[in-house]
Amino acid sequence: MKRLLAAAMVAASLFLAGCASTPPDSKAIQAAATASSSSAAPVYPTGRLTPLVPGSQEWTGHSVVTLAPPVDMWDRIRRGFKMPDLDSDLVRDREQWYATRPDYIQRMTERSSKYIFHIVEELERRGMPTELALLPYIESAFNPQAVSSARATGMWQFMPATGTDYDLKQNLFRDDRRDVVASTRAALDYLQRLYTMFGDWQLALAAYNWGEGNVGRAIARNQKAGLPTGYADLKMPDETRYYVPKLQAVKNIVANPQQFGVDLPFIANHPYFQTVELTRDLDVELAAKLADVRIEDFRALNPAAHKPVLLAASGTPILLPWDNAAVFKRNFEAYNQGQYASWTAWTVPSTMTVADAAQRAGMNEADLRAMNNIPPRMLIKSGSTLIVPRTARVKEDVAAVVAETGHLSFEPEIVTRRTVVKAGRNDSVTSIANRYKLSPARVAQWNDVAAGHRFKRGFQVVVYLPVRAAAAENVGSGAKHAVVTSKRGGGVARAAVAPVSTRAIARSTTASSKKAVTSPRGGSPSKKKR
């Protein structure tokens, strides 16, 4: 061992002696000086190192590069600016707009404090410009619950189809266009693709707002006309025309807030949240309680979950404030006050009314509608998934296949009216059924006759016809009759007042073909299909 140490010391001495006697590599020094002055990537000398002599040109010709970490997130973002600046009247206009609204800037920047560290981390990992961390200020004011008039959703404002293209789940239980981590990943994937497509960040941003097809066609038009094809040269809608100037204005304010009289709130250069995997289905309110955070703060970090229960089988972790993640794990393991989830998912076995589904689920009909956003005048289609109370008898959590593919589908509950039509010459069950697009078996059942029966001319045939939208408005308003005119051979028919759904007809008994099927009067007017 002593021999090895002695040999190592001799080798080190010879190396240092060599360094001291070897002249400096002037080309490497000049390259390093140039790199230092331009803030480019560092250049490492290839020759042996020699000590610098105080007072020499090499001693005074270099600047010291600080290795201090960024003071806060704003400093970190400034250090990563890479996009070319846009200088135009529209930029000045947007600078003025933001600078005269300090309250708006304060709300936006405070809201962004939960998310911006994660976004900057992802941008730096990919080598992308940190200006893009400011894009959600333009898209949604950093509101993950934002929804545009065109149905774009989340802080990155994904349309449904684009979200699907970038693997953002949109199902009964969650909408990943709102998810902080998933939507950021998708947005940066999309922006990278657009930059690869156009080779210019300003054009990539225009395509993010307007669509790559529109930008591509605008470039082609300018090329055909012999015109420049930069962002400022293309003909585009006003929204896209202002899009990059808005981002440039926010960039300028972040770069020099004092110039615009803006006070940016301190955002620590530290992760705001961390992820926690779920091992059991868990109520949203209980999750917030176990983490010791306000329900509003929990939802702000987990905006994709739009039901009151979080499903472990979805494979999506929850986000919690950095220090509260450990609190949640400790409290979750110690929890012994009953089941973790008071809600579960139920797959409807057959098409049924909301009232029937509520009875099966043990819920009030109004509560079932509210919990599952069920519109009026609709039947729940077979195979649909409903959120219903979880009883003590339910031991298993929601299965992965339901968590991934659960959906809720409807079909209109057709409201019909008992109508009497006069049979014409040679009318039969079949001809009446064909005339009104009905089933011959139903017509025969309603009139207590055989399917091949032929009616005498003038016979009053009972049929149940759908209520038209115009006539439906009169239901419950005091109108006594709806007039239906047969297409041929029949006279004017008068209809009973009360509307009856086809499901109700199917459940009613065929006691008498000439008696109206009774139902309560004064119901709500029928509405057009949603």
CATH of the domain at 112: 1.10.530.10
Q: Is 131 a catalytic residue?
A: no
What confidence tens digit (pLDDT) does each residue in 399-412 have?
999 999 999 999 98
Average pLDDT over every residue of 42-62: 62
**232 and 303 together in one domain:** no
Which of 245, 235, 213, 231 has its CA nearest to residue 91? 245
Does residue 195 belong to any structural domain of this protein?
Answer: yes
Nearest-angstrom CA–CA distance, 458 and 489? 9
Q: Which of 235, 260, 285 is the last residue of a domain?
A: 260
User: Which secondary structure element, helix H or strand E, spans residue 418, and what is its range?
Assistant: strand 415-422
Does residue 494 belong to any structural domain of this protein?
Answer: no
pLDDT of residue 187: 98
Does residue 267 belong to any structural domain of this protein?
Answer: no
pLDDT of residue 69: 85
**298 and 216 together in one domain:** no
pLDDT of residue 413: 84
**123 and 240 together in one domain:** yes
Average pLDDT over every residue of 65-77: 85
pLDDT of residue 457: 92
Provide the Cα torsion 495, 500, 502, 507; round to 10°. Answer: -120
Token pair, residue 143, equals 């509101």
Does residue 17 belong to any structural domain of this protein?
Answer: no
**227 and 146 together in one domain:** yes
* Domain assignment of residue 169, given as a range: 73-260
pLDDT of residue 530: 29
Determine how β-strand 318-321 pairs with β-strand 273-276.
antiparallel
Q: E strands of 247-342, at which residues?
A: 273-276, 282-283, 309-310, 318-321
pLDDT of residue 492: 37
**Is pLDDT of 323 > 60?**
yes
**245 and 305 together in one domain:** no
Contact 368, 340 (CB under 8 A): no
Confidence of residue 162 (pLDDT cuts 50, 70, 90): very high
pLDDT of residue 302: 98
Does residue 16 belong to any structural domain of this protein?
Answer: no
**107 and 232 together in one domain:** yes
Nearest-angstrom CA–CA distance, 440 and 461? 12
**104 and 238 together in one domain:** yes
Contact 499, 417 (CB under 8 A): yes
Of the listed ranges 101-105, 118-122, 214-218, 518-522, the one predicted with least confidence = 518-522
Confidence of residue 67 (pLDDT cuts 50, 70, 90): low
Does residue 12 belong to any structural domain of this protein?
Answer: no
Q: Own/partner pairs for 193-200, CB < 8 Å, 24+ apart?
A: 200/230, 200/231
Does residue 487 belong to any structural domain of this protein?
Answer: no
pTM assigned to the model: 0.71
**353 and 439 together in one domain:** no
Confidence of residue 383 (pLDDT cuts 50, 70, 90): very high
Does residue 169 belong to any structural domain of this protein?
Answer: yes
**428 and 285 together in one domain:** no
**Proportion of the chain above pLDDT 90, given as a percent:** 70
Of the listed ranges 81-85, 210-214, 340-344, 390-394, the one predicted with least confidence = 390-394
**Is pLDDT of 18 > 80?**
no
Q: Which of 412, 438, 454 is the last residue of a domain?
A: 412
**99 and 167 together in one domain:** yes
The residue with greater pLDDT, 335 or 8, is 335
AA letter at 191: L
pLDDT of residue 224: 97
pLDDT of residue 456: 92
As for how many domains the chain has, the answer is: 4
Q: What is the CATH number of the domain that holds 395?
A: 3.10.350
Confidence of residue 416 (pLDDT cuts 50, 70, 90): confident
Considering the chain, what is the average pLDDT of its residues? 83
Contacts of 378 (CB under 8 A, 6+ apart): 354, 410, 411, 412, 413, 530
**398 and 431 together in one domain:** no
Q: Which of 304, 334, 364 is the last residue of a domain?
A: 334
Burial of 450 (0-12, 13-18, 19+ CB in 10 A): exposed
Annotated catalytic residue: which of 58, 95, 139, 404?
139
**Is pLDDT of 25 > 70?**
no
**158 and 173 together in one domain:** yes
